[in-house]
C-alpha cells in the first residue's frame, strides 16, 4: 500500500496537513541524500527537489538551510536529547 497518501487523507485541517507534510518532506530530503551518488536518477531528483523547495519552503534558501539542519540532528545523542527536552515547552508555544 501507499506510504504517505493514506496518512495525508487523515489530516483534513490545512494547518494540521502542513505539520504532517513537513515530516514527509523531511523523509524525501533524507532519501535524496541517500541516493545522491546515483547519477542515473540525479537529474530527476534535482528537479523534484527544486519543486519541493519552491512549494514547501517558498523558495527561501534560509528556510532550506534550517530544514536541513533539523533533519541532520542526531536523536541518539544524550546532549541533544537534554537540550531538546529543555526547549520542548518553548517550542510548543
The string of pLDDT tens digits covering residues 59-87 is 888 888 888 888 888 889 999 999 999 99
**Dist. CA 88–CA 32, nearest whole Å:** 29
Report domain 5-92's class.
mainly alpha
pTM above 0.75, yes or no: no
Half-sphere exposure of 34 (CA within 13 A, CB side): 6
Grid cell listed for 11: 489530516
**Residues ≥6 apart with Cβ < 8 Å to 20:** 7, 8, 11
Residue 91: pLDDT above 90? no
Residues 20 and 11 sit within 8 Å (Cβ to Cβ): yes
Amino acid at each position: 500500500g501507499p506510504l504517505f497518501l493514506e496518512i495525508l487523507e487523515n489530516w483534513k485541517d490545512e494547518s494540521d496537513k502542513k505539520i504532517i507534510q513537513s515530516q514527509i518532506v523531511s523523509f524525501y530530503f533524507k532519501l535524496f541524500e541517500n541516493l545522491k551518488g546515483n547519477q542515473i536518477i540525479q537529474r530527476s531528483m534535482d528537479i523534484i527537489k527544486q519543486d519541493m523547495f519552491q512549494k514547501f519552503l517558498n523558495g527561501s534558501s534560509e528556510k532550506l538551510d534550517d530544514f536541513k539542519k533539523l533533519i541532520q540532528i542526531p536523536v541518539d545523542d544524550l546532549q541533544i536529547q537534554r537540550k531538546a527536552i529543555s526547549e520542548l515547552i518553548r517550542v510548543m508555544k
